[in-house]
Structures are given as C-alpha cells and as structure tokens.
C-alpha cells in the first residue's frame, strides 16, 4: 500500500478454453476516494507480461515483483517461469520499471504461485510456491532439457536496501501448519495471503 491510501496491482492473465492472454498492465486503487477508484497507470521501462508472480510494496513506494510465469514472445504459446526481480518506482513520473540484478544462494531458482511480504527493514520475504527445475537428459547423443515443477516450503529474503542485492536462504525453527508437522516433504503452493507484522 503506497502511503496507506493506494493499492497497486499488475499482471495476471485472462482467457478461456485453455488459451490465456498474459498482461503487464498496472492499476492503482485510490482508497481515499469514496467509493475507491481504479486508475490505469502508464508505466515506463520494460517488464514482460507475467502471471503467478509475487509482489510487495516497500517504504519508498517501490513495488517489488519476483518470479512468475510469462509468454516471452507474446504469442500465447508455451510459458516459462522466471527468477527475475523487478521493481516499479511509483515516485517517478511516469512510474518506472527497473530490472534488479540479484545474486545469492537461490540464484537461478525460478518460482511461481508463491507469497511475498516486505517488512519494516526493507527485507522482501518469499515463502512457498512452485519451483521449476531443469533436468538435462541424453538420448542418442543429444542433450534435452526437461522442465519439471515441485512444491516448496522454503523461505528466502532479499535485502532491498543493501547493494548489491543478494538472496539469503532461511531455515526457520518450529512448525507452521495446524497439525504441528513439518511440510517439507511436499511444500506449499498457491499461498494467496501473507502479512508482515510491523513494529
């Protein structure tokens, strides 16, 4: 929420009969107005049409976006998952997309259907989702890549105030499901809601 009066959204998909069209549009909901009013934002810079990404707003009104799936050629064909991190600087006029270069232990780990939260320290926390791995196999002397998905319950964070940006893998203590048992065997995906409690 930018300055606690706006809700920013971007991306997504729409369609029917298995044919999906991906979007890179940005909208802002002005919650100060009665009733609240949607405004389409003409952002500059480049971001691919994405769905199933996770996003969170920081204290500098930058909308951070991590991962997701996209159709790079825009043709409606095969999708692929991303490990990229973008942020939208909403203080620029017009708002500007920036492709943020990151490093760290989870580099090259594509992820979708995860949940993101930004805490008061500027740490972008990512939980769960589905990780897309690539396994190369050989047949008749040729190497073929095989893309497969697995659910994950891993926790990672990105310090958005520290340069260079680097991902950190976290191994939490305790359990996080109602049964009191770890979910590491199967993981979680399509986690829709997450909240950071600010001090």
Peptide bond connecting 158 to the previous residue in cis, omega within 30 degrees of 0: no
Query: Which pLDDT belongs to residue 192?
Result: 45
Pairing between β-strand 102-104 and β-strand 165-170 as defined by DSSP bridges: parallel
CA 161, distance to chain mean position in Å, is 18
Question: Which residue numbers in the chain have pLDDT < 70?
Answer: 1-4, 16-19, 71-79, 105-109, 175-199
Q: Which residue has the tokens 């891993």?
A: 154
Domain 6-170 falls under CATH 2.120.10.80: yes
pLDDT at 68: 83
Q: 96: which 2 tokens?
A: 């500007």
Query: Domain ranges in the chain?
Result: 6-170
Instruction: Give the separation between CA 145 and CA 25, rounded to whole angstroms.
Output: 32
DSSP 95: -
| pLDDT tens per residue across span 48-64 | 778 778 888 888 889 99
Q: Hey, CA dihedral for 119, 94, 42, 110, is it positive or negative?
A: negative
The H-or-E segment that residue 63 falls in is strand 62-66
Tokens 């499901």 belong to residue? 177
Q: Please name every residue paired with 118 in a beta bridge, in sequence order, or none if there are none.
A: 124
Give the integer Cα–Cα distance in Å for 182 and 184.
6
User: How far is the C-alpha of 63 from the C-alpha of 28, rounded, in Å?
Assistant: 11
What pLDDT, on a 0 to 100 scale, did the predictor assign at position 196? 46
Could you tell me how many residues make up the chain?
199
Give the pLDDT of residue 109: 66
């Amino acid at each position: 929420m930018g300055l606690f009066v706006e809700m920013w959204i971007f991306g997504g998909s729409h369609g029917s009969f298995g044919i999906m069209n991906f979007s890179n549009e940005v909208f802002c909901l002005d919650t100060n107005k009665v009733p609240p009013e949607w405004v389409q934002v003409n952002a500059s810079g480049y971001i691919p049409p994405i769905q199933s990404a996770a996003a969170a707003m920081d204290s500098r009104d930058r909308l951070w976006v991590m991962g997701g799936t996209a159709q790079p050629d825009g043709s409606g064909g095969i999708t692929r998952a991303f490990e990229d991190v973008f942020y939208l600087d909403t203080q620029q006029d017009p708002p500007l997309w920036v492709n943020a270069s990151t490093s760290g232990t989870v580099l090259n780990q594509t992820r979708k259907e995860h949940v993101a939260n930004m805490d008061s320290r500027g740490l972008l926390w990512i939980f769960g989702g589905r990780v897309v791995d690539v396994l190369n196999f050989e047949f008749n002397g040729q190497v073929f890549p095989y893309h497969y998905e697995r659910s994950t319950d891993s926790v990672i964070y990105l310090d958005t105030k520290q340069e260079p940006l680097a991902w950190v893998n976290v191994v939490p203590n305790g359990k996080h499901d109602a049964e009191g048992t770890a979910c590491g065997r199967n993981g979680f995906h399509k986690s829709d809601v997450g909240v950071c409690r600010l001090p």
